[in-house]
Structure 1
Amino acid sequence: MGSGVHNKLIGQIGENLVAAKLGTLGYYASPYAGNVPGFDLTAVDSKTLSSFPIQVKCSTANTLVHSQIDRWIETTIDSTGKYFFGELIHLEHPNMLWIMVNLPHGQIENARYFICRESDIQELAVERFIAFIKRHDYRRPNGGNSKQAILTLKELGRYEDNWSLIAPASKTITTHDGRESNDL
């Protein structure tokens, strides 16, 4: 199976896992299978009918978010390959939820969920990229001018099972390791 097909299938699995998990929290959720720019599913509270979009990222590997750094911060690279940074990019929807799903070895029974806001993704991506590039005198270690930025399980760890962004405090949810909690 080609990597493009594999990635599409993993993305589809992630969207449907998130939709199912939201169902257990009292939300109707509909994935859009990549047909809507900017978000992957809509969640609707079954009691109030209030709705909100969610961006979903899914991976079987350690890296959960791939993006270009200039999506998050003004970035220029001079003719010598040196990076310069300006202001943070204004986000149209800084509070939009992002749910990253990690499927170790492609196994859905071991799925791990990381829940945060788009502004958190921006902060982490900028922090990680600048720290990396600064260690190398503001240049890519092997040359080049890639703006590829990533976030891994390590950076996103503080948001694991952060369902409190979605679930009312009175709800009991099951975390990735089988614990039940109502005070996440």
Structure 2
Amino acid sequence: MASGLGNKLTGQIGEFLVCAELGRQLDLIATPFAGNVPLFDLLVADEQCRSLPIQVKAARGLQWSTRADAWLHLEVVGRRQVDHGDRELDHPSLIYVYVAIAPRTDSPTPPRDRFFVLTQRDVQQIVAPAYRAYMESRSVPWQRPRNHASFDARLDAAQLEPYEHNWDLIRRQLEMQSVP
């Protein structure tokens, strides 16, 4: 399967899995927007018509790619990166759901998809220190080995485990809204 199609399918599967899980876990209605809304992937609503946008990040493994410069003010000076601190987030309470899509199997008890539910601020508080530690550990600190302007970073399921099945975060954010 072509990489572009594979990535689209992974995103689509992740969004629909999250919609289904929101119905199963919280009795909420959710609908995806097929990638047409830049800040979020789906909208969830409860019986009181309160709603929340949700960003979904899906992977067919236990790692998700992100850009460190989405979370940190980074500058490239010569061959080194310079850290100017954490970025100010526009939507720190925006909910992110990271989905680890279980592999296909013929087993009678297939592996389960994994869901990690957290806020944009929580993601930043994971990515920023991890990226700083990685860059400090380089043989030449703050210099990427091949492409000095690369801001590639990874989130690993082990880093997200405290947020696994944290569906109550969505319920709490909905309940904080006044009923329209």
TM-score (norm 2): 0.85
- Range 106-115 or range 7-16, more displaced: 106-115
The Cα of 1:68 is off from its aligned counterpart by 1.7
Distance 2:127 2:112 in 1: 26
Residue number in structure 1 paired with 2:96: 98
Residue number in structure 2 paired with 1:9: 9
Distance 1:74 1:45 in 2: 37
Give 1:21-40 correspondences, 5 Å limit: 21-24=21-24, 25-40=26-41
SS for the counterpart of 1:145 is coil
- Asked whether the 8 Å contact 2:135–2:142 carries over to 1, the reply is yes
The Cα of 1:122 is off from its aligned counterpart by 1.1
Q: 1:149 to 1:106 in 2, by over 3 A?
A: farther
- Asked whether the 8 Å contact 1:29–1:42 carries over to 2, the reply is yes
The Cα of 1:70 is off from its aligned counterpart by 1.4
Aligned length: 165
Residue number in structure 2 paired with 1:179: none
Which letter maps to 1:75? L
Cα deviation, 1:4-27, whole Å, max 9, x if unaligned, reads: 101101110110111111112121
The Cα of 1:141 is off from its aligned counterpart by 3.5
Residue number in structure 1 paired with 2:125: 123
Residue number in structure 2 paired with 1:76: 75
Cα deviation, 1:22-68, whole Å, max 9, x if unaligned, reads: 1121211010010111100000012x11001000011111212x222
Distance 1:33 1:164 in 2: 25
Note the aligned Cα RMSD (angstroms). 1.7
Distance 1:77 1:26 in 2: 47
SS for the counterpart of 1:105 is coil
Distance 1:54 1:106 in 2: 26
Cα deviation, 1:107-139, whole Å, max 9, x if unaligned, reads: 686100000000111111111111100001121
TM-score (norm 1): 0.84
SS for the counterpart of 1:16 is helix
- Asked whether the 8 Å contact 2:102–2:111 carries over to 1, the reply is no
SS for the counterpart of 1:38 is coil
Distance 1:5 1:13 in 2: 12
SS for the counterpart of 2:165 is coil
Residue number in structure 2 paired with 1:154: 158
SS for the counterpart of 2:159 is helix
Cα deviation, 1:74-93, whole Å, max 9, x if unaligned, reads: 101211x2221113211111
SS for the counterpart of 2:96 is strand
- Asked whether the 8 Å contact 1:60–1:106 carries over to 2, the reply is no
Residue number in structure 2 paired with 1:49: 49
Which letter maps to 1:96? L
Q: 1:106 to 1:75 in 2, by over 3 A?
A: farther
Distance 1:23 1:99 in 2: 14
Residue number in structure 2 paired with 1:180: none
Distance 2:100 2:58 in 1: 6
